[in-house]
Amino acid sequence: MTHDNLPYWLAAIYFPRVGPGTFLRWLEQFSDIKTLFQASKDELIAKGISAEYIQKWQEINGKYIEKDLAWARGDDCHIISIESESYPSLLKEISNPPLILFVHGDVTVLQQIQIAMVGSRSATQTGLKNAEQFAYAIAEAGIAVTSGLALGIDGASHRGALTAKGITIGVCGTGLNHIYPPSHLSLVNDIVQHRGAVISEFPLFTVPRAVNFPRRNRVIAGLSIGVVVIEAALKSGSLITAKYALEQGREVFAVPGSIHNPLAKGCHSLLRQGAKLVETATDIFEELAHYQGCDQKQKNNIFTTTVVTGKNTSPPKQTLLLEQQQLLEQIGYEITSLDMIVLRSGLTAGEVSSILLILELNGYIQSVPGGYVRVILD
């Protein structure tokens, strides 16, 4: 990409009601984007571009472009067009790829092998823990974890990768000057400070709009060699991401859950459609080990993580007494209410509360709204 062309690419994203696909079809008829923008009205009409569009072309406000270019002169701020060498090669392969990417952070990480992780915003404690553990293992293997910066599974995935001191990439459905949700601003700062990146195809001052998040989802899928879905309802944005992944020829993985959990139904639907069932990160690594985009170091790493080898880095847990073990068996991996635990155990509420405290202090269970969940042990 020449620097001279960047203002023209920026102008293209401010073109009203014209998506990337339409603009790229127009561009096919010209030698480059500069020639397209400098063509006369008669030349544009001869190429099949209507007078209505040409009129809108002339109404593009150059002040927006100037503000974008000024932003890109800031620390760790980049704007790359689809013709730039920094543009992710996998993303370029999808239909209707973004014309422009605004990048806050290390722009070089966009070329890394990436695995996307998506799921419910209202995830259970089990789902959040699964997301953190999967992301930790993926990042520790030297593969970037890509997600959508949303609450729930997305946020847990980003944090799991950061805990592993790995790379994570956040894809926004807003402009980078309007981080959504606002509560994730500190998460964005952590991602950037730890050699990751936060990106968006939307102009800097784009506010949250429902219509933009499915577009964000196609970018998440497009950047990645595979998408892992952890907890998703049947009508879920995560399933939109999975659909894009399938259309783009990427692998789709789904983590199964309880048949009584509404947030497992989306994953089970994907499994019925042929998604790969995964219970540990090992299942993902085995499926992707022969992916041509992985270098030898990454192929070696994905079989030497603590998840694959079974190495347990957690402190040893206290051995349980028989009564404690019997009570633990009454608690599921989904939320079990205190009343149900008392009913199942046959103990008094006082006895149950005492044992629950011991189990929680030793990391066997976790208290959550509505009761307790059993913790998945390493």
Give the CATH number for residue 213. 3.40.50.450
Mean pLDDT of 342-365: 88
Domain count, the chain: 3
Check whether residue 303 and residue 344 sit in a common domain: no
Check whether residue 222 and residue 170 sit in a common domain: yes
How much is the pLDDT for 316?
Answer: 46
What CATH number is associated with residue 348?
1.10.10.10
Mean pLDDT of 150-175: 97
**Last residue within a domain, chosen from 309, 338, 356:** 309
Range of the domain at 370: 322-374
Check whether residue 212 and residue 263 sit in a common domain: yes
User: How many angstroms from the chain centroid is the CA of residue 63?
Assistant: 32
Q: Decide if pLDDT at 355 tops 70.
A: yes
Q: Decide if pLDDT at 360 tops 70.
A: yes
How much is the pLDDT for 50?
Answer: 85
Angle (CA) 250-196-315 rounded to 5° is: 90
Mean pLDDT of 277-296: 77
CA distance 24 to 44: 14
Check whether residue 212 and residue 295 sit in a common domain: yes
Asked if residue 76 belongs to a domain, the reply is no
How much is the pLDDT for 154?
Answer: 97
> For residue 215, how many C-alpha atoms fall within 13 Å in the half-sphere facing its CB?
21
Mean pLDDT of 311-322: 58
How much is the pLDDT for 291?
Answer: 64
Check whether residue 213 and residue 118 sit in a common domain: yes
Asked if residue 93 belongs to a domain, the reply is no
How much is the pLDDT for 304?
Answer: 44
Asked if residue 315 belongs to a domain, the reply is no
Query: Whole-number mean pLDDT of the chain?
Result: 88
Q: Decide if pLDDT at 349 tops 70.
A: yes
Least confident among 45-54, 61-70, 148-157: 45-54
Least confident among 148-157, 220-229, 333-342: 333-342
How much is the pLDDT for 9?
Answer: 95
Query: Token pair of 361, please?
Result: 């202090």
Confidence of residue 138 (pLDDT cuts 50, 70, 90): very high
Mean pLDDT of 86-102: 95
Check whether residue 193 and residue 56 sit in a common domain: no
Q: Decide if pLDDT at 302 tops 70.
A: no
Check whether residue 166 and residue 291 sit in a common domain: yes
Mean pLDDT of 81-93: 95
Q: Decide if pLDDT at 312 tops 90.
A: no
Confidence of residue 17 (pLDDT cuts 50, 70, 90): confident
Least confident among 45-54, 94-103, 214-223, 234-243: 45-54
Check whether residue 166 and residue 262 sit in a common domain: yes
Asked if residue 82 belongs to a domain, the reply is no
How much is the pLDDT for 128?
Answer: 92
Q: Which helix (H) or strand (E) holds 199?
A: strand 197-200
**Last residue within a domain, chosen from 309, 341, 359:** 309
List the one residue out of 222, 240, 247 whose CA is nearest residue 118.
Answer: 240
Check whether residue 183 and residue 257 sit in a common domain: yes
Asked if residue 222 belongs to a domain, the reply is yes
**Cα→Cα distances 9→14, 50, 73, 203, Å:** 9, 20, 17, 12
Check whether residue 138 and residue 243 sit in a common domain: yes
Check whether residue 117 and residue 207 sit in a common domain: yes
Check whether residue 331 and residue 291 sit in a common domain: no
**Cα→Cα distances 244→42, 215, 226, Å:** 38, 10, 11
How much is the pLDDT for 271?
Answer: 95
